[in-house]
Structure 1
């Protein structure tokens, strides 16, 4: 049955369900109404039968014993039968045979109840239902004892009119119920079609999304407080998440392709340099020892760059997989790193003005106690200082600030160089990204991994590296870390 219903549309199934419930309701109501009407009419008949038999029973006690109250006054009693609605009256003697009886002239004797059934009626006035002798009609009868005349008196009335009334009621209910069922089914078909219209719009939206239009959303097809409104809102939330997921996946794939391309390029450059130098040596193009030494120096430089690049990639991979496992934490103060960074930068460019201040350039350096891996943080600061030295002209002032801001330890490296555009600032922490790809690679070049490594190491410590810059306004890199008393 379930498999058969599943072949129909939701609209058809709902209509069948509601029609079935309506049919059951109409059937139940019709049955209850007809039963109550039949019970009411039977109660009316039973009351007349009990009253009439009681009257006859009392009359038998008031007349002489030789007078039969059933047939003593037939000219008076027969009209009374029609008046009381009890067209058949029987006097049964002590043996249960009919002593006297009288019935309305409208009755056919062939349709009267049989004697055996009349004798079985209890004489306490309790009404019972009998069948006519021919079995086609039903009768209702009650019996009472007659103290004066002896025996019992039985009053009976046919249920022909009652049965006809109930039959007409049931036929009327059936006809009106069928008409009502047809009308309501038609109205239900159109109402369900209108009610399911939002679902069809959701279906069309889903089909458009399946065809690749991830920007489609379910329109406002119902009030937010309704079930359809809740469904539409939930679907739109899910569709937004799916669109973002697909966009993130596409961006991730694009970044992966760029990363693989950059890795290939960065690895190929030193490898080609080494291979070219070896080929020159094999070809005998290096006859002088000075040429050989220069070539070996070039091979060593390229090998160093290759090792640096490989180590940087390996470190990033480890930080991505298990950042905490790459750290050996201990209490320390960022002022130590700031002071060493100042000396390193001065050694790189003695002409460059270098200032050591508090955060934001206000006041002297402040304490910045952290629980961290000093060698890893030194690598972060070295990358930040090296970035300032590499991307600003010689002699450009640099400020190194250290202290506590907003309950966080801070070390910042700010320069007064050319700064960066918003697009460059948004990508400066990407792996292998260079703001100037035409710049010649030096011996200490890390292949565009320095800032990516710096941010990964900072985040492994529970902190971050942020950038504030604008074109022509310099750049400020901020290393923020949890304070010592907040470190877990």
Structure 2
């Protein structure tokens, strides 16, 4: 059984469908033939018996034309219907004359002895060639005395008819099976033509051509559904591969940039350590300067690592605790922190009397403001003022389908940012020019962190020119839904 199952599994689908169709046709013809034979034989035998019974009551059909049943003559027997065997027997059962007219062939039945004739029922007879006959007898009575017996016999044609039926049915059955097999093969081949295309497309994809797609000519068929499903799968696979390639490329670039940023302070730290080990730093002032440089480089590496960890956490899409946050208060707190760091700076907050709110994670939004204010402080002259402007986004500026938004802007009055690089500054480790160096420009990750936080909240960030000179960083974040204590605040993924 296992060996047959293995062989059957190796047979092609076309051959399987054709073979199963032929087998079903064969079984159907066998059932139809046997059923017909089982019904046809009793019907033919019953028809023969009814004919003989009818002849017993009225034998005129079997006799010669114009024969008188009550006064039979010799010619009435000699010229009887040759469809039947008609004979006149004497009182003692001997044959006097019959419609064979002396021309007795192998198909002429032999008259049984008088003692074996059944006068009330059917009498079986046979001819030399083996043909079976059924006979009835009718006594001939004249003047109250039996003058003889009229014998009428019919050949048993049932077996002949059934034999002919079997031959004809078999011939037509073979023709039907052959025709069914041919039509099934043609239909299966035509139906599976799209599968051949699917096979060819899959082969080309396996060789690396991921742009190939399956042409679906009949989308409502099973093969059409398969083609559409495969095309959808290939589109998603192609998109996943492209995303993976972009992610790998971005990771390689990020690792390269991070390695470059970390290598410079490490080289400085190692250089000062080697100078100290070799005794090149003899004076206390030299040692102090070396330790100061080592400390600064360590601080810069710590800042860089913290920024990298912040970006890594944002990339992990961890859930954030969202809550309605008042922008006016957050802006005031950020300005106070900035004044404490740079007392020569004038950091002004322009609040919105409508008290706009944003739906966000408080820690992330505070970090967002701090990074943008710190960026403005690093890249503008000392003493240059900075404004934090809070407002609600006008409905006309909100794209269709987006929720209400609230806005805050960090406005500085420095050199500004050229329009051609405004999209690039949010990239990781990107610096505009030499003025944004490692000493003044930080790690180059601050604005990348800003962009990641804004994207995690579903907002937008952009940079514009400040009237009179400078750069304005504008951040739009979703506002909370209408206050309803029964409606829980949704949790977004960072």
- What TM-score does the superposition give when structure 2 sets the normalisation length? 0.71
1:273 is aligned to 2:268: yes
**CA drift at 1:256:** 2.4
- After superposition, the Cα gap between the structure-2 partners of 1:377 and 1:112, relative to the gap in structure 1 and judged at 3 Å, is farther
Offset of 1:234 from its aligned partner?
1.2
Distance verdict in 2 for CA 1:333–1:112, change over 3 Å: farther
Q: What's the counterpart of residue 476 of structure 1?
A: 474
Structure 1 residues 7 and 375: CA distance shift in structure 2, 3 A? closer
Is residue 109–residue 127 contact of structure 2 (8 Å, CA) maintained in 1? Answer: yes
Higher-helix-fraction structure: 1
Is structure 2 residue 417 aligned with structure 1 residue 418? yes
Offset from partner CA, 1:256-300 (integer Å, 9 cap, x none): 222332332233232222222222222333333333222222211
Q: Which residue of 2 aligns with 1:197?
A: 193
Aligned CA distance change for structure 1 residues 290 and 38 (closer, same or farther; 3 Å): same
Q: Secondary structure at the match of 1:213?
A: coil
1:366 — aligned with what? 355
Q: Distance in 1 between matches of 2:337 and 2:439?
A: 18
- 1:84-163 alignment to 2 at 5 Å? 85-87=83-85, 105=100, 123=121, 132=126, 136-139=130-133, 156-160=153-157, 162-163=158-159
Q: Sort the Cα spacing of 1:194 and 1:39 in 2 relative to 1 into closer, same or farther, 3 A.
A: same
Distance 1:134 1:408 in 2: 112
1:316 to partner: Cα distance = 4.3
Distance 2:154 2:344 in 1: 133
1:264 aligns with 2:248: no
Contact 1:392 1:418 (8 Å CA) reproduced: no
State the 1:478 CA deviation: 2.7
1:202–1:218 CA contact under 8 A, matched in 2: yes
Match of 1:305 in 2: 300
Q: Provide the residue aligned with 2:24 in structure 1.
A: 21
Q: Where do 1:25-424 residues align within 5 Å?
A: 25-29=28-32, 41-55=44-58, 75-76=75-76, 82=82, 85-87=83-85, 105=100, 123=121, 132=126, 136-139=130-133, 156-160=153-157, 162-220=158-216, 222-318=217-313, 323-324=318-319, 332-343=325-336, 348=342, 356=350, 358=352, 364=353, 366-368=355-357, 374-390=362-378, 400-403=389-392, 408=404, 410-415=406-411, 417-418=416-417, 421=420
The change in CA–CA distance for 1:267 and 1:136 in structure 2 (over 3 A counts) is farther
Q: Helix, strand or coil for the counterpart of 1:6? A: helix
Specify whether residues 374 and 186 from structure 1 end up closer, same or farther in structure 2 by C-alpha distance, changes over 3 A only. closer
* Aligned counterparts of 1:121 and 1:200: Cα–Cα separation in 2: 78
Question: What are the residue-to-residue correspondences of 1:388-467 with 2, within 5 Å?
Answer: 388-390=376-378, 400-403=389-392, 408=404, 410-415=406-411, 417-418=416-417, 421=420, 425=423, 432-436=428-432, 439-442=436-439, 445=442, 447-454=443-450, 463-467=457-461
Distance 1:109 1:237, change over 3 A: closer
Q: TM-score, normalised by structure 1?
A: 0.72
Per the TM alignment, residue 334 of structure 1 is displaced from its structure 2 partner at its CA by: 2.4
CA gap of 1:375–1:238, structure 2 versus 1, over 3 A, is closer
**In 2 relative to 1, CA 385–335 (structure 1 residues): closer, same or farther, beyond 3 Å?**
same
Deviations 1:241-264 (A, max 9, x none): 111111122222222222332332
Corresponding residue pairs, total: 452
The Cα of 1:144 is off from its aligned counterpart by 10
Determine the C-alpha separation between the residues in 2 that align with 1:154 and 1:300. 140
Deviation at 1:79, TM superposition (A): 5.1
CA shift for structure 1 position 228: 2.0
**Judging changes above 3 Å, is the alpha-carbon distance between structure 1 residues 219 and 391 closer, same or farther for their aligned structure 2 residues?**
farther
Q: Using the TM superposition, give the Cα deviation of residue 47 of structure 1 relative to its aligned residue in structure 2, in angstroms.
A: 2.6
Query: Quick one: distance in 2 between partners of 1:334 and 1:102?
Result: 134
Q: Where does structure 1 lack aligned partners over 5 or more consecutive residues? A: 57-68, 359-363
Structure 2 runs not aligned, ≥5 long: 60-68, 396-401
Distance 1:314 1:470, change over 3 A: closer
Superposed CA RMSD in Å reads 4.9
Supply the distance in 2 between the matched residues of 1:165 and 1:258 (Cα, whole angstroms).
93
- The farther-off stretch of 106-115 and 282-291 is 106-115
